[in-house]
Structure 1
């Protein structure tokens, strides 16, 4: 005869105390959620320093929410190093092969400075197939709509209009569901990321002066608002999917899911081929980034994503792919890394014509003829030359007097202003380059540290986040110095 289960008797009074505690906990959490929702729906401030003050208020509320959710959270996060366990990696590989993935001659390895990546175990020629992942293995928005989450997506406008958000909630739904098909994949995903959602206030302070600072603050505010919105929906909706989600839905989990989607998502053709849908592609998403060209495509006949080698790889090399032409600011905010050799990086320079400028209308008229849109920042690069024709034309037009403006308005050769060879008065050209020189010095002075100081601050003793921020500022300042040097070289002809 088997042993009886030992049941501990809980006095009625103790049960009442627990119920009261749970009610108090729930009420306090809901109060903080309401405050968070109010703070994150306020109109953004154009002044980045004032917007930072607003984010500090948001962080104070999030700190309280984290404490309240800590007991929910802590039970489900394992040691991040455990994902490197041989058994977990082998199970992931077996799962991939069982459902049709192809990755012969490669292995998942840890690389210094890259976390996990793919290693070539044999020589791999350029343009040869290195990875093939069938649709069955992918988490897609289409799969989400067919799952137990489908009813929620169908009735929620945010998830309908933002497929990346729908995929984020689906990722959590599957992670929280018992016996998920994707459990082997979840087990090899990081438990923490280097995205801006993991920055503390001290980290954010380091971004002062960077044009990326405002984007970072906007991202934090935006995701915090999403969390508050979905928390309220999940905690109140009478839906079976919400029952799965509400037991474990926390800010920590939402940040993890958002970061997973931001750093790993791609788009693939829908099942009917009529549109593209967001997807997580296991294994493919373990390839790290380098300069090159897109080498991934979808094979409709075999219904799978295929990735080709972008160059010849030797046995022992890490396999890289090209994520696309993205700036370091974009990679920093959405992927949590900076690529210092980025061929597509640029510094966004915002310029305009003052409302108080008595010659404003004439300047704007010439700019209009050149189709120069001042709502779009100009791009500063490390190329030669580091400024393009549109910026050159703007600088010239901005520094013209009324007589010069009338001259260019009366003719039909405004396009000549975009060329460095355009013959202009010496005084105007000198003013143009002096303006650019002073603007670069002003932008460099807006940072709290110099380039040399930044380079000296990068250290293994720093947090990953701190080094990442410093590296971003280094790439920005190098572009500014490149443009400054160019302006000073152009000025030398007038000495």
Structure 2
């Protein structure tokens, strides 16, 4: 990961040379971070149970690290004391300063205001009737915090030395944001002050909240995400304590896991892509004001205007006074929203459940199945989508089911056929026995997937109404949306079997 990370010994030597003997808590912190880095750089685990066990160890180490960082912060007012200067994002003073900053630098908000909405926190309130296609928000490029504006900051020198910052633009934006937050004179302070102080991303989940996802394919993705971010934290902690550059000097006593978790979550939930200055590529950026808009089903209505050098957001439908102004984030699944945005949208029209299927190597007809699948442009082991709506099984999955359940004569016929692509269509004329066998196979798989959850769909519908933590409620909503997809598909498959 980039240049060679300073070892624990080199970090301790730097501390000793500057302060004499390091405090006990500082030494314990270095040791815990070393352990965390080793644990998170282990190879990927072969099973979910191993990944969960690893996460428990990570969680225990993080609890210790956060305790030590809090303890050191109380001894050193330059750490979390700096963060306490930031106001409540909902305060009148913070919003006035933010609005003033926006207007001074050319941002526009037409017929709307920033307001608080129950269940959403801050959002954009419609103050007058707004017809479809009306320009509502315009944010000039100079207000956007991007990987290009890094070039004018102290972070740029570090970029030349650290590979992860050169190769991972989202990580670069994360470190840049954190540096700007910790500076006393940041241009973006009015924007940073109205950002959430914490998030509902999986980085904020407790072990017990994560375990509510058992049976869900989203759990494995969440564990990988957490492990990756924790490894980044450990890497940067050692880097900042073992280097003398301006960023390290600023961060050394202020960089904590909670701070990094906040910065990562801010970037994950709010980053967007804009064209570079020369238009040659797309770059990561945070767009103040626009990123206060919450999501609903709709169409993309935001674009970058290269002539005026600004991002423009139009109303994708008619909005009435008193409504919240929503935008459409794009065609993403609830698993995407859950992992990267920290919410679950139950009405998501683009939701998908991914099911992994493949041809076994012990199958006596494996070679012929692989050959036919290759003709269809399908891998012998792949993930297939279970979609929302009246036709949850697409042509790609349907073709696999048929190939997987064919006998040798059927395989030979379709391998030689010039119309093998017909296997992707429901209307394809096939032997009734093969069709029933294919649908019965999928029914068994769907039933098994539903049974892997520790609660039923009906139980989740009751649990989500209880007074529980936001994270726990979100985990339940996540598995609930998955079960709805599976159950809808199961009903469709049963109808197909009856035909």
- Is the Cα–Cα contact under 8 Å of residues 80 and 192 in structure 1 kept in the other structure? no
2:404 is aligned with 1:398: yes
Q: Which digits, 9 at most, give the CA deviation of each residue in 1:441-489, with x for residues without a partner? A: 0000000000000000013510000111111111111110111001111
User: Within 2, Cα distance between the matches of 1:80 and 1:314?
Assistant: 34
- Which is worse superposed, 162-171 or 263-272? 263-272
3-state SS in 2 of match to 1:377: strand
1:411 to 417, 421, 429: 417
Residue of structure 2 in register with 1:4 after alignment: none
Q: CA RMSD in A?
A: 1.7
2:67 is aligned with 1:75: no
- Is the Cα–Cα contact under 8 Å of residues 267 and 279 in structure 1 kept in the other structure? yes
Residue of structure 2 in register with 1:42 after alignment: 42
Q: Which digits, 9 at most, give the CA deviation of each residue in 1:122-177, with x for residues without a partner? A: 11111111011111111111111221111001211101011110000000111111
* Cα drift, residue 48 of structure 1: 1.3
Task: Compute the TM-score of the two structures, normalised by the length of structure 1.
Answer: 0.93
User: Within 2, Cα distance between the matches of 1:137 and 1:346?
Assistant: 35
Residue of structure 1 in register with 2:125 after alignment: 119
Residue of structure 1 in register with 2:58 after alignment: 58
- Is the Cα–Cα contact under 8 Å of residues 145 and 153 in structure 1 kept in the other structure? no
2:473 is aligned with 1:467: yes
Q: Which digits, 9 at most, give the CA deviation of each residue in 1:215-259, with x for residues without a partner? A: 000000000000011111111111012111112100000000000
Residue of structure 2 in register with 1:260 after alignment: 266
2:325 to 319, 323, 326: 319
User: Within 1, Cα distance between the matches of 2:53 and 2:160?
Assistant: 37
User: Within 2, Cα distance between the matches of 1:373 and 1:407?
Assistant: 20
- Is the Cα–Cα contact under 8 Å of residues 337 and 468 in structure 1 kept in the other structure? yes
* Cα drift, residue 376 of structure 1: 3.9
* Cα drift, residue 405 of structure 1: 1.4
2:29 is aligned with 1:29: yes
Q: Which digits, 9 at most, give the CA deviation of each residue in 1:268-289, with x for residues without a partner? A: 1111222111111100000001
What is the number of residues matched between the two proteins? 477
- Is the Cα–Cα contact under 8 Å of residues 77 and 191 in structure 1 kept in the other structure? no
User: Within 2, Cα distance between the matches of 1:75 and 1:208?
Assistant: 39
3-state SS in 2 of match to 1:338: coil
- Which is worse superposed, 299-308 or 358-367? 299-308
1:137-148 mapped onto 2 (5 Å cutoff): 137-148=143-154
Cα 1:80–1:318 change in 2 (3 A) is: farther
1:430 to 433, 436, 449: 436
User: Within 2, Cα distance between the matches of 1:326 and 1:98?
Assistant: 35
- Is the Cα–Cα contact under 8 Å of residues 446 and 486 in structure 2 kept in the other structure? yes
* Cα drift, residue 292 of structure 1: 1.3
1:288 to 294, 301, 304: 294
Residue of structure 2 in register with 1:338 after alignment: 344
- Which is worse superposed, 251-260 or 98-107? 98-107
User: Within 2, Cα distance between the matches of 1:107 and 1:375?
Assistant: 51
* Cα drift, residue 50 of structure 1: 1.4
- Which is worse superposed, 254-263 or 155-164? 155-164
3-state SS in 1 of match to 2:199: coil
Gap regions ≥5 residues in structure 1: 1-15
Q: Which digits, 9 at most, give the CA deviation of each residue in 1:279-308, with x for residues without a partner? A: 111000000011111111111121111111
1:441 to 447, 463, 472: 447
Cα 1:92–1:471 change in 2 (3 A) is: same
* Cα drift, residue 402 of structure 1: 1.5
1:17-416 mapped onto 2 (5 Å cutoff): 22-71=22-71, 72=73, 74-78=80-84, 82-416=88-422
- Is the Cα–Cα contact under 8 Å of residues 123 and 294 in structure 2 kept in the other structure? yes
Residue of structure 2 in register with 1:11 after alignment: none
- Is the Cα–Cα contact under 8 Å of residues 414 and 420 in structure 2 kept in the other structure? yes
Task: Compute the TM-score of the two structures, normalised by the length of structure 2.
Answer: 0.93
